[in-house]
Amino acid sequence: MSFIRTPETDAALEILHSSAHVLLSGKAGTGKSTLLREYLDSTSGKHKDKILVIAPTGVAALNVGGSTIHKAFGFRPGMYPDDVRGFSNYHPSNQIRSVMKAVSTIIVDEISMVRADLFDMMDLALRQIRGVNTVLGGVRIILVGDLLQLPPVITDRERAEYFQRWQTPYFFSAHCYPALALESINLQTVWRQNDEEFIEILNQVREGKVNENALEILNSRVRENPPTDEGFVTLTSRRRRVAQINQEWLENLGTRIYTSAATFTGEAEENSFPGDIEFRYGEGARVMTVINDPLGRFVNGSMGEIIRATGESITVQIDDTLALVELKPHTWEILRPKVTGGVLSSDVIGTVTQFPLILSWAMTIHKSQGKTIPKCIIDLKGGTTTDGQFYVALSRAVSLENLYFTEVVRHANVLADASLVRRILRDSSPERIPERVAFMSCDYVDFGRSQHIASIHATVIEHGSITADFGSWLNPMADLGTLTGKYSIPAGGMAANPTIEEFWPLLLRQLNGALVIGDGLATLERAVRHQSRELEVDLGVGYDIHDLGFSPVGEDPVSRCNSMSTAYLEGHFNPTRGTEVRANPTGAGALFIPAWAPSETPILDERQANDNDLAWVALNGEGDAAERDIHHAALQIADTARVRNGWTRELHDDLRCRITKTGAAVPELPQVEESGVDIHEVLLPGARLAFSGGGNILGKPRSDEELEELCAEKGLEYKGAVSKTRCDALIALDVATMSTKAKNARKWGKPIFSNDQFNTWYLGDAPQHIKEVPPLVEEVSEAEMDREVPIVAPATELILESEFADPHEVLAAGTRAAVSGVLQLKGEPVPRGDLEKFFKELGLEFKANISRTRCDVLIFNPASTPTAKFEQAREFAKPIISTDEFEKWVESQELTRVDEEAEITAERKPEEAQHGEEISLPEPLPESTSGSTETVEMVPPLREADNPEPDPVAENLELQEPPVPEPMSEAATVPVEQPTLLELILGERNFLTLVKPTNEPLLNGTRAAFFADDAALQNHVLETLAKQPSRMMKSLKRSGIALAVGVALFIVLAIFSGGGEDDPFVAAAGMIMMAIMFGAPIAIFRAVYLGITSKKQQRTEAAQQLKAAPLPVLSAGGRPISPQEQELMAAMVAFHDYQQQSGYPIPVDSWKNLVAEASTALNSGNRRMAQNVGVKINEWCAGAEAAAETKQKYAF
């Protein structure tokens, strides 16, 4: 944009031309770069010769005609201030020394990406080289950038050590920064956008706080299929996604594709220029320029379309002006500053030559920074990963009218660094002394990248006096980690504590009107947003205590708050800017100090507390409150603990004491549930266990690998997560934990046992029965929940053998059966996790417990220790079947089905078989003959390794088709109609209806191979090409045929000629001979040339086509495939497309694995494997349906 003089820019230029250190900032589109260029152009004479322009990245440096910080100072990657200090590991060249001594002003562009340690290195280098021990060696500095755009990068490897020395990654956390006393210029006028509504949304996104109205407006621009008109650019956070989009558009042009490789000289590096290392282009391609044209025909970021293309030049029609511009490869010079004759200049230390264009159908958000994109599509499929990234993408657009999103915009996409936002807003607020100040501190469960608040305290001071001093322990909704040991938190100790959402209204009422000063305020705000996405933090614009130059002392939040408030009252610091908390919610709050926690008495400012708040204080310390409010708070404590499995006798008695101390009558509290699930009943061979919270497992904390080994030793299966169908129980350090695993366990009714219970069970010296509080499942009332009562008498004393029921008389289709003890079939135990599927195959319904109305029969192993299920079955008059008789019944069922299947098969002629059916099991398949050793058959034969734990029962159950039921006698067993293998795999979802009409079906008998990965497929195709006749041989063959035809014609004409010179036959024969003489060498030359060049071109084209293929390809060279397999493959491809279109894509590798598993199940007839594949497909589809519902909610 051209420079426009306004009162704002005039005031800014006046400051820039002064001698003060300056921070030039402003929102995106406010003209920071334009103002900087105007300042440089308006600076003349010797002053301009001593200005050094630098930037943190090569591309940013090129944009301002400068050098990178590392090149200008001679820093090497991986250096830290300690390397620079005293020149211990820093050896600048004489040229760098002369530059640093001559420079008077340094301009740093894109300052938001400069790390604090790099800024300190610049300070140390300038001090030492110039011999001046003042900040930056006495050099003036101008910092330019929007702090709320892309941040500095801190790797995971250096994170822990880095934050021990610098509070944040940003330049203002440098140790030298406070001495600069920067003069601030904050540009306000936005030139890129003129839509007031859009500008307001941008302001909210910039600060990381979007209200529901702004979110609704943005989501009105969501389109599943955004427009593909010319000029639209897709922005995404993933480079791979950019390459994919541009590649797809380029391949669809239908024009010749050229490739230009960048050339590098000297010290030029791959990331030191804004173009592509390998630029692929063709006529019709959308492109963006990446340089400013010296002739003024276009600027950096101009969009256009390639009209003509050759290998040497590209003609582009610029969108804005419609001008045709011919571009040749451009050379970027990589500069290093130097001093010549006392004048600051630069040496060229390397060059990069490439076309100054990039494909512009898509680009990364990072590369778009600084650009204006009139027609913009923001692809959110990869999410946003860093602070300010969504703001950078959104602020590239000019208006809402030409802005679209591919996914719903969520609060999680709008990331902004709270400390930066607070600093910027605070610096722009008026200076004054606050009347009311609040200090806050927290203890966290630290997960590295996220923190969960477990304890919080606040102290409020007004006019020099403490008016409120209170806090609460909060349930962090996660495992407690090291806090358990630090505070000796007992198991279930956090069960009664409120969540952050329940505490926050009480906190905000007390902080209303106060300026907040926090110990790690940014961490607190980030933790609140992480724990509750919908909670409005509303803490105003305050300070982190470290911004005021003070470090609190103390091991807990109470001590640290006391430290800060005491220092404030003694005048050690005095905040003068910021805005107070302006929130006074009317919702109920809560606080709780458990009996095990360090003693503290909460004090509230009664002027800013409601009756509910006072009741909570009365229950946790001293004070008066209405009995009704006390009862309400007490029952909330009890109900909260009960839901979290933490309503114990100790908590029950403690709560009664608290109520009594207030003088209120004790209400009727919930009864403490003493009975529970027997750990011996759950941890049977095959049971699947998850673990949560770490802690002591058999003497020490265990890794995932160690837990897996421990489980395997007892015949258990280790699971990394709790799911509805793939996990049977959870072992937790704290049975009342609200970790994700524990919440899922309660949601799906999985029992939770403590580490101690597991240890005792594992070592085998526990009491006969260890009890655990059963999970509270909302769908089942407390009265209906099954209760286990320990039974110690042997089974033979409780029931006679003659009292066992006959399974043939009891079991029928739909019978609901429970199992007590280990169920063994053919000498092998049936894993407990497989019982539900196994029973379903038999037409029965598996029940985990015996109840009066929800279970029909108990299958009991007399050899096992009797349990409460056994007694309850007798109490409720439920039939009891011995496991031996049940095994015989299963065998009889299978024999009956086999006989029926054989009878049906014998009666049915082959031509009468229905589509999709197979009369017999598939035969073993031959190995692939495709020539690629890296391929696997699409439907490989079932090997022993494919199923390391064969199920003897399943071997008899794996039939291809259900039997045809016979008329049933009164005593006969009801035949169970079983689904086909395809129905088990695909479930109720008819993916075949989604198959695109353009997909050609495979013909019956086609030979096909399924390749394990794209590399194997590509090798196979290239090897196949290598075996094909070369174009040279084809050319020689054609030339030979032509030669033979020519000679034959010559002989025929010679025979029929009369011999005279005027004879037409003689003339024709002569012409043919001349053609043969000249044509033969040309044909030989052409054949040799093709032999040299065509094979390489043929292989390259094949590789490019395969690279663009989104899915594995069926290729010749495999085995014949059946109609069922054709149907399966078509359905699996449609399943993949369905996931992609629903916005919940399945990774290609996962899809391939599912195809292989489904094919194996279909070929081998393994029903259990087919059902497992069906479960996985159903889970993916459920995710897709949820994503589609969310899209539909916001999109037209």
Per-residue pLDDT tens digits for 935-972: 333 333 333 333 333 333 333 333 333 333 344 333 33
pLDDT at 1133 over 90: no
Residues facing 752 on adjacent strands: 730
Ranked by mean pLDDT, the top range of 59-73, 232-246, 1012-1026, 1146-1160 is: 232-246
Please, is 297 exposed, middle or buried when counting C-beta atoms within 10 Å of its C-beta (0-12, 13-18, 19+)?
middle
Q: Which residue has the higher pLDDT, 918 or 1144?
A: 1144
Q: Is 244 left (phi over 0), alpha (psi -120 to 50) or beta?
A: alpha
Per-residue pLDDT tens digits for 566-579: 999 999 999 988 88
How many angstroms separate the CA atoms of 27 and 428, rounded?
13
Which segments within 524-611 are labelled E, that is strand?
543-544
pLDDT of residue 235: 92
Mean pLDDT over residues 876-887, rounded? 84
Ranked by mean pLDDT, the top range of 332-341, 682-691, 696-705, 778-787 is: 682-691
Residues facing 456 on adjacent strands: 442, 472
pTM, to two decimals = 0.48
CB 738 within 8 A of CB 498: no
Token duo for residue 128? 């030492």
Residues facing 187 on adjacent strands: 26
pLDDT of residue 469: 96
pLDDT of residue 1107: 45
Token duo for residue 568? 């404030």
749 Cβ contact partners less than 8 Å away, ≥ 6 residues apart: 775, 777, 780, 848
Q: Number of C-alpha atoms within 13 angstroms, CB side, residue 886?
A: 27
Place 250 in a pLDDT band, splitting at 50, 70 and 90.
very high
- CA-to-CA separations, 653 to 591, 595, 660, 670, in angstroms, rounded: 19, 11, 11, 12
pLDDT of residue 445: 84
Q: Which residue has the higher pLDDT, 475 or 1035?
A: 475
pLDDT of residue 1196: 38
| Host H or E run for residue 1126 | helix 1123-1141
Place 19 in a pLDDT band, splitting at 50, 70 and 90.
confident
Per-residue pLDDT tens digits for 715-732: 899 998 898 888 999 998
How many angstroms separate the CA atoms of 880 and 870, rounded?
8
pLDDT at 1058 over 50: yes
Taking the alpha carbons of 199, 201, 202, 203 in that order, is the dihedral positive or negative? Answer: positive
Taking the alpha carbons of 1101, 1106, 1109, 1110 in that order, is the dihedral positive or negative? Answer: negative
Class of the domain covering 679-762: alpha beta
Per-residue pLDDT tens digits for 334-364: 877 677 766 656 678 889 999 999 998 998 8
pLDDT of residue 419: 73
Lowest mean pLDDT among 218-222, 553-557, 1056-1060, 1137-1141: 1056-1060
The residue behind tokens 């300038």 is: 126
- Domain locations along the chain: 7-187, 196-413, 429-662, 679-762, 801-900, 1121-1194
CB 483 within 8 A of CB 597: no
Lowest mean pLDDT among 2-6, 526-530, 1177-1181: 2-6
Nearest to 808 by CA among 870, 723, 893: 893
Mean pLDDT over residues 555-571, rounded? 95
517 Cβ contact partners less than 8 Å away, ≥ 6 residues apart: 437, 438, 439, 440, 542, 543, 544, 545, 548, 564, 568, 575
CB 117 within 8 A of CB 80: yes
Mean pLDDT over residues 13-19, rounded? 88
CB 445 within 8 A of CB 454: yes
Place 1065 in a pLDDT band, splitting at 50, 70 and 90.
low
pLDDT of residue 605: 93
DSSP-assigned states of every residue in 211-254: -HHHHHHHHTTB-SS----TT-EEEES-HHHHHHHHHHHHHTT-
Three-state secondary-structure class, residue 536: coil
pLDDT of residue 1001: 37
pLDDT of residue 920: 31
Average pLDDT for the chain: 76
How many angstroms separate the CA atoms of 467 and 603, rounded?
8
The residue behind tokens 């200076």 is: 431
pLDDT at 934 over 60: no
CB 143 within 8 A of CB 182: yes
Q: Which residue has the higher pLDDT, 338 or 527?
A: 527
Question: Do 429-662 and 7-187 fall under one CATH topology?
Answer: no
854 Cβ contact partners less than 8 Å away, ≥ 6 residues apart: 784, 816, 847
Please, is 911 exposed, middle or buried when counting C-beta atoms within 10 Å of its C-beta (0-12, 13-18, 19+)?
exposed
pLDDT of residue 1140: 76
pLDDT of residue 533: 65
Per-residue pLDDT tens digits for 596-614: 999 889 999 999 999 999 9
Altogether, the residues listed in the chain come to a count of: 1196
User: Which CATH entry fits the domain spanning 429-662: 3.40.140.10, 3.10.20.90, 3.30.420.10, 3.40.640.10?
Assistant: 3.30.420.10
| Host H or E run for residue 344 | strand 343-354
Three-state secondary-structure class, residue 881: strand
How many angstroms separate the CA atoms of 679 and 494, rounded?
23
Q: Which residue has the higher pLDDT, 448 or 135?
A: 135
How many angstroms separate the CA atoms of 552 and 559, rounded?
9
The most distant pair of C-alpha atoms in the chain lies apart, rounded to whole Å, by: 142
Which segments within 17-88 are labelled E, that is strand?
22-26, 51-55, 67-68
Mean pLDDT over residues 5-20, rounded? 87
The residue behind tokens 């006679």 is: 800
How many angstroms separate the CA atoms of 375 and 649, rounded?
65
How many angstroms separate the CA atoms of 741 and 690, rounded?
8
Q: Which residue has the higher pLDDT, 174 or 1140?
A: 174
pLDDT of residue 157: 65
650 Cβ contact partners less than 8 Å away, ≥ 6 residues apart: 595
The CATH homologous superfamily for domain 801-900 is: BRCT domain (3.40.50.10190)
- CA-to-CA separations, 104 to 14, 21, 36, 469, in angstroms, rounded: 18, 12, 17, 52
How many angstroms separate the CA atoms of 682 and 1062, rounded?
110
- Relative to beta strand 403-405, strand 376-378 is parallel
Mean pLDDT over residues 794-812, rounded? 62
pLDDT at 615 over 90: yes
Helices within 858-947 (DSSP H only): 868-875, 883-907
pLDDT at 531 over 60: yes
pLDDT of residue 498: 92
Query: Is the CATH number 3.40.640.10 carried by domain 7-187?
Result: no
Enumerate helices (H) and strands (E) in the chain, giving the number of each: 38, 40
